[in-house]
Amino acid sequence: MRRLLVAVLILALLGAAVFWFVTRPEAIAASELPPHQPNLENGRVMFFAGGCTSCHATPKQDDHMRLGGGMELKSPYGSFYPPNISPDPKDGIGAWSEANFVTAMKKGTSPDGRHYFPSFPYASYQRMTLADLRDMFAFIKTLPPVAGRVRDHDIGFPYNVRLALGGWKFFHLDGRPFMPDPNQPAQWNRGAYLVNGPGHCAECHSPRNVIGGLVEDKRFAGGPNPDGEGTIPNITQHALGEYSVKDIERIFETGETPEDKVGGAMVAVVRNLSQLPPSDRAAMAAYLKSLPPVE
């Protein structure tokens, strides 16, 4: 009996150690960041490619560059409320360091060491380069500070247990940056980077598994709308086969499709994408046009 109890205790300790290793929040230290001179114009491009205003702009006001947060994001797990990411030092991210920002974007970890919920699409932002993230942070700091903190998320048990998000990250956060395909032209690689990194298009246009991770073999094939109303469309050639690259570019610039205009959340996406250089919209369109059809 004593040996059995010792064995159980050892197994429990090993299990606790494994649980701690898997669920611990990871961070990037300032010492890991090489010297960098911010490029504000590139930061602006990354900001709009990343769609920051779509979720973090203060609701019911015309200036979408006021990033006070608070818009409700409905999901099967409850409602999320994106936080204030304006440069306000008290209520926003004005007191954050570069390492804090890069850690949030690549590791999904807050400055105080908590896991962020993956409604914040860091699983896609992890593909971004350090330089682009640091430029984005520098650009955000030029925007107007907005006072006021956002209410807490309305998430029920067990989904509100943040420590368990370490397990989610174990399966869905690999830490790998975007790797260009040497067999593809530069335009295609630029589009692939923008779509899969800052643009995080798959986060909405893909179905999810039982724990909320993307179903990779159905990537970009569309799926249920997280708010429970309708569906998010397929953007592979299964649905866009008759669209030309120019058609897709026009959607990104004006919201006009060959048949109509985009609606719903895509209106805010177009508002952001229309701010990108035409060459970037063309690169994204070329990449999406290259995607194989997926039902």
pLDDT in tens, 30-59: 999 999 999 999 999 999 999 999 999 999
- Asked if residue 111 belongs to a domain, the reply is yes
- Provide the CATH number for the domain around residue 205: 1.10.760
Considering the domain architecture, whether residues 210 and 290 belong to the same structural domain is answered as yes
pLDDT in tens, 90-101: 999 999 999 999
| Residue percentage of the chain with pLDDT more than 70 | 93
Considering the domain architecture, whether residues 148 and 191 belong to the same structural domain is answered as no
| 113: confidence class by pLDDT, cuts 50, 70, 90 | very high
pLDDT in tens, 221-244: 998 887 777 889 999 999 999 999
**Does this model's pTM top 0.95?**
no
* pLDDT (0 to 100) of residue 229: 78
Considering the domain architecture, whether residues 203 and 171 belong to the same structural domain is answered as no
- Asked if residue 17 belongs to a domain, the reply is no
- Dihedral of alpha carbons 234, 237, 243, 246, sign: positive
Considering the domain architecture, whether residues 72 and 169 belong to the same structural domain is answered as yes
* pLDDT (0 to 100) of residue 141: 97
Considering the domain architecture, whether residues 135 and 214 belong to the same structural domain is answered as no
How high does pLDDT run on average in the chain? 91
Residue range 139-151: average pLDDT?
96
pLDDT in tens, 166-175: 989 998 899 8
* pLDDT (0 to 100) of residue 5: 66
- Asked if residue 216 belongs to a domain, the reply is yes
User: Number of structural domains, the chain?
Assistant: 2
Considering the domain architecture, whether residues 172 and 50 belong to the same structural domain is answered as yes
| 159: confidence class by pLDDT, cuts 50, 70, 90 | confident
- Asked if residue 184 belongs to a domain, the reply is yes
